[in-house]
């Protein structure tokens, strides 16, 4: 008797399942598809959920110890982009397990969220909203006009490219630092590539769109902040680990940074007593830049298609590092 393919979604959220029933039917058409709601409480429960799976649709992360005990596992489709933080890629490579991600699903929605944070910080919207709700009519706080200013983007993947277009529409000059810089690529996107030191020296706003790797960990540190113009605005919708948190807090307290818009944090959920929660020059959101109905629909469409294509012999969106 032929072995029937088994695919498991071990850590779903109920709302995701309800919104993607028709998408998941693609998996049910050729495989036994099992969904568990909520994250496993420990590794033992995780193993119990996926121990005999041939494929996994992964919402959050999978410890290496769990992967080792999934003896039938052939492919993991991670519902996101930065898979290296959530899956042990070295172990997957050693065992010949394919790992896929979902590139491009959130380009528009994260770029728009970055723009919302930028506009909010530039015009002090959270502070003004809070004071007005307390009955204060404060028109003394100067806003920051973005047209005619210079923004520096660190990282230039799909989200960075989309955000660059939005910034140019506002009349901002866009400088970019990324690993792949060329005049031809800059001309194609209407941006100027430059070294990090140039971004820090010239830019009124710095926005992060790079992946988190060993090379980019704490990329923005005390030295980086020291090179920035007084009053620079910082936007981070990428990874908190790109920024030294202590250095960030110092720069905000000292006024070196005029403000920050942050959607990602070193510790999530962000503790209620964290210093960032009491700063009136910071706008924070709970890591929701990706979360629009359109983006989530695209996410699960891609994540599901990764599994369909893999078991049809046409693997796509494979990640190696």
Catalytic residues, which ones? Answer: 239, 268, 287
Sign of CA dihedral 239, 244, 250, 255: negative
Taking 3-state DSSP, the helix, strand and coil percentages for the chain, each rounded to the nearest 5, stand at: 40, 20, 40
Q: CA–CA separation, 257 vs 249, rounded Å?
A: 9
Owner of token pair 């031809």:
184
CA angle 40, 30, 12 (to 5 degrees): 20
Rounded to whole angstroms, the maximal C-alpha distance in the chain is 77
Owner of token pair 């890629």:
89
Sign of CA dihedral 104, 62, 71, 2: negative
Going from the C-alpha of 123 to that of each of 115, 234, 235, 259, the distances in angstroms are 12, 14, 14, 10
Summary count for the chain: helices (H), strands (E):
13, 12
CB 242 within 8 A of CB 220: yes
CB 26 within 8 A of CB 308: yes
Please name the residues in contact with 30: beta carbons below 8 A apart, sequence gap of 6 or more.
5, 308, 311
Q: CA–CA separation, 20 vs 299, rounded Å?
A: 10
């Amino acid at each position: 008797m032929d072995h029937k393919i088994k695919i498991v979604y071990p850590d779903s959220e109920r709302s995701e399942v309800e919104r993607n029933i028709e998408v998941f039917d693609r998996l049910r058409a050729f495989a036994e598809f099992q969904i568990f709601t909520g994250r496993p409480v420990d590794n033992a429960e995780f193993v119990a959920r996926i121990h005999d799976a041939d494929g996994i649709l992964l919402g959050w992360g999978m410890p290496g110890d769990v992967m080792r005990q999934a003896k039938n596992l052939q492919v993991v489709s991670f519902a996101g982009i930065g898979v290296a933080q959530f899956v042990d890629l070295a172990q997957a490579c050693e065992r010949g397990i394919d790992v896929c991600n979902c590139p491009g699903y959130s380009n528009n929605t994260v770029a728009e969220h970055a723009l919302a944070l930028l506009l909010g910080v530039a015009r002090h919207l959270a502070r003004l909203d809070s004071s007005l709700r307390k009955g204060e009519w404060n028109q003394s706080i100067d806003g920051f006009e973005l047209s005619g200013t210079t923004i520096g983007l660190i990282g230039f993947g799909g989200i960075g490219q989309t955000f660059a277009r939005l910034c140019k529409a506002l009349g901002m000059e866009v400088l970019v630092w990324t690993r792949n810089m060329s005049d031809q690529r800059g001309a194609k996107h209407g941006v100027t590539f430059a070294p990090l030191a140039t971004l820090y020296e010239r830019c009124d706003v710095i926005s992060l769109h790079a992946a988190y790797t060993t090379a980019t960990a704490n990329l923005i540190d005390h030295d980086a902040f020291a090179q920035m113009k007084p009053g620079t605005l910082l936007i981070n919708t990428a990874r908190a680990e790109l920024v030294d948190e202590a250095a960030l807090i110092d720069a905000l307290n000292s006024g070196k940074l005029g403000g920050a818009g942050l959607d990602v944090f070193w510790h999530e959920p962000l503790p209620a007593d964290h210093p960032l929660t009491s700063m009136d020059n910071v706008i924070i959101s709970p890591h929701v830049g990706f979360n629009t109905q359109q983006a989530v629909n695209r996410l699960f469409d891609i994540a599901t298609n990764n599994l369909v294509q893999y078991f049809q012999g046409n693997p796509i969106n494979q990640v190696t590092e």
